[in-house]
Structure 1
Amino acid sequence: MDYLQFYGIDWLAMVLTFLAIWQIGNKNKIGFVLMMFGNTSWVAVGYLTGSVAMIIANVIFFSMNLRAIIKWSKPQLVASE
């Protein structure tokens, strides 16, 4: 039963990633949160497959999404004309 090998985490990661990209495309900050959950899921898949590269990449992506949330949460200064 190879389809149970990753306990559905790979499917969850894929769905979260696609939903996140959709939300970010709609300029919705929740997309970054979804992507962080997706990154966490991909780290789990990387662990289950023994892929150090997948783990490192998704830890970095997680950090980049956290940075994006922080930057998008800061109030924007409006330039006066």
Structure 2
Amino acid sequence: MEYFQYYGIDWIAMVLTFLAIWQIGNKNKIGFILMMCGNTSWIAVGYLTGSVAMIIANIIFFSMNLRAIIKWSTPEKEPKVSVAEQSSTN
């Protein structure tokens, strides 16, 4: 049995994925970056194994993590209250 059949990329991908989930669970944005590195590693494993499904899935996961970084980095806009609404509450 060869432990490094995929040059250890599968092990790196696994560790990065677990670390990422841990960090996201701690509400740490670095988890998304770790997950994107894991996704990139899984894409390489998909290439080495010939799994098109693994490649496509991890490209989509990578995109979703990139979106999450952007959304977490953008401050939320406060809802604008019109003058009429302000005067009715006073």
The alpha carbon displacement at 1:78 in A equals 4.4
- How well do the aligned residues superpose, as a CA RMSD in angstroms? 1.3
| Correspondence list, 1:53-64, <5 A | 53-64=53-64
TM-score under structure 1 length normalisation: 0.92
2:11 aligned residue: 11
> For 2:78 and 2:27, how far apart are their aligned partners in 1?
19
List alignment gaps of at least 5 residues for structure 2: 82-90
1:64 and 1:8 map into 2 onto residues whose CA distance is 25
Could you give the per-residue CA deviations for residues 24-47 of structure 1, whole angstroms, max 9, x where no partner exists? 000000000000000000000000
Greater Rg, structure 1 or structure 2?
Answer: 2
Runs of 5+ unmatched residues, structure 1: none
Counterpart in the other structure of 1:31: 31
- The amino acid across from 1:25 in the alignment is G
Paired with 1:15 and 1:2, the residues of 2 have a C-alpha distance of 19
Take 2:31 and 2:56, find their aligned partners in 1: how far apart are those partners? 21
1:31 & 1:77 partners in 2: Cα distance?
24
Sequence identity (%): 82
Distance 1:27 1:43 in 2: 25
**Total equivalences in the alignment:** 80
Deviation at 1:3, TM superposition (A): 1.7
Corresponding residue for residue 40 of structure 1: 40
TM-score, normalised relative to structure 2: 0.83
